[in-house]
Amino acid sequence: MLLLVDLDGVVYRGSDPVPGVADVLAERVAAGDHVLYCTNNSSRYRTEYVRILGSMGAPVQPDWVFTSARATALELAQCDPPVRVAMVLGAPGLSHEIRDVGIRPVDPDGRGLSADPDAVVVGIDRHLTYERLAVAAQAVREGARFVATNRDPVFPAAEGLMPGAGSIVAALETAARRAPDMVVGKPGPILFEAAARSVGMTPREAVVIGDGALTDIAAAGRTGARSVLMLTGVTSRAEAEALPPDRHPTLIAADAGELRSALLRLQGGEAAA
C-alpha cells in the first residue's frame, strides 16, 4: 500500500512522539508499503524532518518527505510558461526546495523585484514586515503568478495558536486584490498528487493517515484516497462522528494499536464508515 502520513498529531505531538506510531510505520515499510510524509508546514527543509523522524524511530529517507514547500517547488518546475525566478515570502526551507528544482529564489525586496519574478510563493514567514508584504503585492500586481503553499490560518504552538501561512496569504490577497493562482497544501489535492506521483502511483491507490478532519481527511476525499482518522491530534471522536456521511474517514483509530488493525483491514480490502 501507499501510505500518505501526516506528521504533527499523528507521528508526534510537538516534540513528543505519539506512542507506537513509528513502530507501526516501520512494520508497514518492512511489509513492502510506501510511506510518504505529507505536511502543510512549509518552513522546514526535508532533511530536518529526516533528523526528527529518525530520532523517533520512524522509517524515513529525504525523498519520503513531502512538505507543502517541496510540493510547491515541484509544481512550479512543471509550469508552462516556465518559472525561472520565484519571489519567496516565506522561510528558508521554502527557498531551499525551490532552489533544488532549478528555480532561482529571490527575497521580497527591491533587488528581488528588479529580478522580474515569474511567481510569488507564499508560506509562513516569521520575518514578515510591511515592506516585504508590499513588495510581494507589487510583484503580483505586475503579473507574477500568486502561489500559496497552504491556507492554514493558524497553527498550534507552545505559546498557543500562532498565525499560519494562510494568514499571510490572506494579507497578500487583500493587498494584491486577487486570489492565489494555485494553493498546494491540504485540503486541496496537489500535495497528495505530487507525493503519489513520486512513486509512480495516484492518491486513489493510497491510504491517508491524518488527524485533521478538515485537512487530511478532506484531501483524501477530494483525491479518492481511503483514510484513517487518528484521534491523537486535533479531531475528537465526537467531531468525527458528526461529519456528514460523504466526509467520513474510511476508518478511525484512537491509538497506534488501532492504527495497526485498521491498516491490516485496509490491506485486506475492507472498508468501513
Q: pLDDT value at position 263?
A: 98
Q: Give the lowest-confidence range in 7-16, 118-127, 255-264.
A: 7-16
Which residues, including other chains, have CB under 8 Å from residue 226's CB and lie 6 or more apart?
206, 207, 208, 220, 250, 266, 271
Please state, rounded to an integer, the average pLDDT across all residues of the chain.
95
Catalytic site includes residue 255: no
pLDDT bin (cut points 50, 70, 90) of residue 9 is very high
Mean pLDDT, residues 51-77 taken together = 97
Q: Which of these, 138, 168, 136, lies nearest to 151 by C-alpha position?
A: 168
The reply to whether 99 and 173 lie within a common domain is yes
Q: pLDDT value at position 271?
A: 54
Q: What element of type H or E holds 149?
A: none
Report angle CA 121, 197, 60 to the nearest 5 degrees: 85
Side by side, the strands of the sheet bearing 145-148 are 104-106, 85-89, 119-122, 145-148, 182-183
Mean pLDDT, residues 35-57 taken together = 97
Whole-structure pTM value: 0.94
Q: What's the CA gap between 189 and 68, in Å, rounded?
A: 11
CATH number at residue 174: 3.40.50.1000
Catalytic residue among 6, 118, 211, 216: 6
pLDDT bin (cut points 50, 70, 90) of residue 76 is very high
Task: Identify the domain containing residue 175 by its residue range.
Answer: 81-183
- Domain end marker among 183, 217, 250: 183
Mean pLDDT, residues 120-149 taken together = 98
**Residue 56 placed within a domain:** no
Residue 249, number of CB atoms within 10 A of its CB:
25
Residue 30, number of CB atoms within 10 A of its CB:
9
Tell the residue number behind the cell numbers 479531531, with chain if given. Answer: 235
Mean pLDDT, residues 189-196 taken together = 98
The reply to whether 231 and 197 lie within a common domain is yes
**Residue 66 placed within a domain:** no
The reply to whether 125 and 191 lie within a common domain is no
Percent over 70 (pLDDT), the chain: 99
The reply to whether 242 and 177 lie within a common domain is no
Q: What's the CA gap between 221 and 215, in Å, rounded?
A: 10
Ramachandran angles phi, psi of 89, nearest 5°: -100, 80
**Residue 151 placed within a domain:** yes
The reply to whether 119 and 144 lie within a common domain is yes
The reply to whether 115 and 168 lie within a common domain is yes
Q: Which of these, 256, 182, 175, 178, lies nearest to 5 by C-alpha position?
A: 256
Number of domains in the chain: 2
**Residue 21 placed within a domain:** yes
- Domain end marker among 116, 150, 183: 183
Q: What element of type H or E holds 253?
A: strand 251-253
The reply to whether 90 and 120 lie within a common domain is yes
Let me know: does 196 contact 202? Beta carbons within 8 Å. yes
Q: pLDDT value at position 273?
A: 37
Helix/strand number for the chain, H first, E second: 11, 15
The reply to whether 208 and 176 lie within a common domain is no
Which residues, including other chains, have CB under 8 Å from residue 2's CB and lie 6 or more apart?
33, 34, 36, 196, 199, 201, 205, 206, 207
**Residue 85 placed within a domain:** yes
Reply yes or no on whether the pLDDT at 12 is more than 70. Answer: yes
Which residues, including other chains, have CB under 8 Å from residue 261's CB and lie 6 or more apart?
253
Catalytic residue among 8, 118, 125, 152: 8
The verdict on whether omega for the bond into residue 81 sits within 30 degrees of 0, i.e. cis, is yes
- 30-44 pLDDT, tens digit per residue, is 999 999 999 999 999
Q: pLDDT value at position 272?
A: 43
**Residue 241 placed within a domain:** yes
Reply yes or no on whether the pLDDT at 221 is more than 80. Answer: yes
The reply to whether 135 and 193 lie within a common domain is no
Catalytic site includes residue 6: yes
Reply yes or no on whether the pLDDT at 14 is more than 90. Answer: no
**R_g of the chain, CA atoms, integer Å:** 19
- Domain end marker among 183, 205, 240: 183
- DSSP readout, 161-207? EEE-HHHHHHHHHHHHTS--SEE-STTSSHHHHHHHHTTT--GGGEE
**Residue 54 placed within a domain:** no
The reply to whether 85 and 172 lie within a common domain is yes
**Residue 47 placed within a domain:** no
The reply to whether 105 and 119 lie within a common domain is yes
The reply to whether 167 and 218 lie within a common domain is no
